[in-house]
Amino acid sequence: MTKVHHRLVPFEQLPKFPKKFELVTALQVAFNRHNSEKPWGSEEWGFFLNDLRYNVLGERGEAYFELNYDNHLGNWYSQDVINLFKSYSASIHAGTLHVKW
């Protein structure tokens, strides 16, 4: 696989890859603008997760994220983001999220 550099921007699709992946991981996530005045909410995360699900991951794909603690929120994510991940039946443990489709 050729390395692809891409900056994640809210509401923009990920690049097209020649094949679908079984697993996507992101560790020490910063693309969600943690510790800012406007971290990603459920709309940004929802767009990103749907893009992963339908355009990047295979039929039984998985996504695993380790988020950075957000001092503004006093948590890793807001309640609306927790609810969104729960709607995807995600496994949530502190700042770790695991979604299986």
pLDDT digits (tens, 9 = 90+) for 5-64: 888 999 999 999 999 999 999 998 888 887 888 889 999 999 999 999 999 999 999 999
Structural domain boundaries enclosing 54 = 23-100
Q: How many CB atoms within 10 Å of residue 9?
A: 10
Does residue 22 contact residue 61 with C-beta atoms inside 8 Å? yes
* pLDDT score of 25: 93
* pLDDT score of 97: 95
Asked whether residue 51 is assigned to any structural domain, the reply reads yes
Query: The tokens of 39 are what?
Result: 């971290």
Asked whether residue 11 is assigned to any structural domain, the reply reads no
* pLDDT score of 1: 67
Q: How far apart are CA 40 and CA 97, in angstroms?
A: 15
Asked whether residue 2 is assigned to any structural domain, the reply reads no
Q: What is the pTM of this model?
A: 0.90
In the chain, how many domains are there? 1
Q: What are phi and psi of 76, to 5 degrees?
A: -80, -25
Q: How many CB atoms within 10 Å of residue 61?
A: 18
Q: How far apart are CA 81 and CA 40, in angstroms?
A: 8
